[in-house]
Amino acid sequence: MKGLKKILGLTLAAMMTISLVGCSSSGDDGGDSKTADKLQQIKDAGVLKVGTSAEYSPYEFHKVVDGEDKIVGFDDFIVQEIAKDMGVKVEYTDMDFDGLLGALQADKVDIVLAGMTPDETRKKSVDFSEIYYTNSNVCIVAKGKEDSIKSSEDLKNLKVGVQKGTTQADYVTSDKEGCLGISDATQLKKIPDLMLELQNGKIDVIVTGKAVAEINVKNYKNVAIGNTTIGDEVAETAAAAIKKSDDKVDNTAFLKSVNDTIAKLDKDGKIDEYMQQALELAK
E strands present in 82-232: 89-94, 111-112, 126-128, 133-135, 137-142, 160-163, 186-188, 205-209, 223-225
Does domain 137-229 correspond to CATH entry 3.40.190.10? yes
Boundaries of every domain in the chain: 36-134+238-282, 137-229
Beta bridge partners of 136: none
Look at residues 168, 151, 122, 173 and name the one whose alpha carbon lies nearest to residue 229.
Answer: 151
- Sheet arrangement for strand 55-56: 55-56, 60-65, 68-72
223-236 pLDDT tens trace: 999 998 888 777 78
116 backbone φψ class: left, alpha, beta (φ>0; ψ -120 to 50) = beta
Instruction: Identify the sign of the CA torsion 149, 152, 158, 159.
Output: positive
11-27 pLDDT tens trace: 444 444 444 444 444 44
Q: What is the mean pLDDT of residues 253-263?
A: 99
Q: What pLDDT does 206 receive?
A: 98
Q: 201 pLDDT exceeds 80? A: yes
Mean pLDDT (the chain, rounded):
90
Task: Name the pLDDT band for 34 (thresholds 50, 70, 90).
Answer: confident
Homologous superfamily assigned to 36-134+238-282 = Periplasmic binding protein-like II (3.40.190.10)
Q: What percentage of the chain carries pLDDT values higher than 90?
A: 81
Q: What pLDDT does 90 receive?
A: 99
The Cα angle at residue 266 between residues 110 and 218, in degrees rounded to 5: 80
67-121 pLDDT tens trace: 999 999 999 999 999 999 999 999 999 999 999 999 999 999 999 999 999 999 9
Residues ≥6 apart with Cβ < 8 Å to 7: none
271-280 pLDDT tens trace: 999 999 999 9
Cα–Cα distance between 48 and 84 in angstroms, integer?
10
Q: What are the C-alpha distances in Å from 245 to residues 128, 170, 180?
A: 12, 27, 35
121-171 pLDDT tens trace: 999 999 999 999 998 899 999 999 999 999 999 999 999 999 999 989 999
Cα–Cα distance between 241 and 244 in angstroms, integer?
9
Task: Name the pLDDT band for 283 (thresholds 50, 70, 90).
Answer: confident
Q: What pLDDT does 33 receive?
A: 59
| DSSP character at residue 99 | G
Helix (H, G, I), strand (E, B), or coil: what is residue 263?
Answer: helix
Would the CATH topology of 36-134+238-282 be identical to that of 137-229?
yes
Q: What is the mean pLDDT of residues 175-202?
A: 95
Q: Residue 139 CB: number of other CB atoms within 10 A? A: 26
